[in-house]
Structure 1
Amino acid sequence: MIKWLGAFVGFFVRGLSGAILGFFAGSIIDGLFGSDKGKARSVFDDYTRPNVSPADFELNLLSLCSIVIKADGQVSQSEMDYVRQYFVGTYGKDKANAIFRTFNEVNKKQEISAQRICAFLAQRTRYEVRLQLLHFLFGIAQADGSITNPEAQKIREIAGYLRVSLNEFESIKAMFIKSADNSYKILDIEKSATDAEVKKAYREMAKKYHPDRVNTKDEAIKKGAEEKFKQVQTAYETIQKERGLN
């Protein structure tokens, strides 16, 4: 496994401290790109912690970004710039470049598996964080001005692997792909819903998407939660005006 190779190389270069660093670095890579014959493992497999380490999250997130960018067969510079701006803005230029280098080195040797990555994240992140991940992925797809069908389908596939319900996916999708009934889709209700059902749906959505429920230090994810919360409010206000609700 890669982690033992990392430990060996690390020991040869820097002794015991290098072996420890090599083992942990290799564990992260094993978790992302483990063999198809066995269960994907990472440094966190031996622990019962419910969340993911920053290093794991960064590489997993970048992998999902890459999958979405390549979904329609075209690598858009604006989509790549969107991702780079996020990482530089969140982690700083030096750390962002280090993350990109690590990702590029691994990506040359191993094929990225959306199913494996999402299974890893689904076990270690809260549901609210996974919703924000989908919001961010739609933001990438929209960075070049439009979201293609292959991109939307790929994000839907990712949503399934992340164990996000179809209704939740459609609600987030409606925030990016506009339609006549968008406000109702965002609130996850039918246009025929009663006024009482509309109010109830708004209360539930406002609670679900409130930024305070996203327990993460990642500023971009927090920002995504705030944007989504605002869209829920806007959707409700649109329906209020349409129906004359108080």
Structure 2
Amino acid sequence: MHSKKTTCTRCDKNNNSNNNFCIYCGIKLVKEKKKIKEEEVSPKNANYNNIRNNYDGLFISLLSKVAKVDGGINPLEAEALGKVFDELSRFRQDIFNIRDIYKQILTNEKDKLDNVIDICNALVCLKITNYDKISFIQSLLTLSYINESINHHNENLIIKIIVFLDIDFSFYLNIKSEFEPQQKTEDSSFTGKHLSLAECYNILEVTNNESHQSIKQSYRKMVRNYHADILSSKDLPSDMLGYAEEKLKKINRAYEILKQHKGIK
């Protein structure tokens, strides 16, 4: 009696049904129950699973998470995602309902943060080029800066994606500097730079109407996100740790200015 096999959705090769990952390409295997569930979600889209597990589908999956992670997808973000769909559709002209599939991927993936690593691993298996990686970072940052400043929820998720896609962190810093030309992340003497109140509120992601307690809570949360002792335990690259150090300087400086301005004890 032959043992049951699970077919990899990436390389179409058969694996032992007990395997969790494909022994040929490394992607996490989709077990039969999950396949049925996906087909139920998308009964009219015969190409859904194929697109979802290819470059454009994986790309849209991550974009959707970055767009939604700060609470919701606003009209500007929706418009930007629509332009991405238009661009990717040019390479899928043989599939008449490709935009509907892209929209469905966005809907199904935007709230799922527990499969980010799996999606990144699948992209790594596709052996994407440095050009693809740079274009990908640009798209993530364009979406995140669509409201002029990046939210720390967006940035933390983007950094996680960069780590698991094995992208050189300097790529990220160089591209990010194009969006924030006035900020010199490599300036080790940042603490001496004057910050306006508006910049301080923006750095701490609070408004001038928030209570002292709310400002304190936001400050403490951001310090935890960028503190060197915490990040060092995650075995991150040295350039990423350097970036976090500069970010923490900005956070501390902004908080000190607001403390003095608002009389926070």
**TM value normalised by structure 2:** 0.46
More helix by share: 1
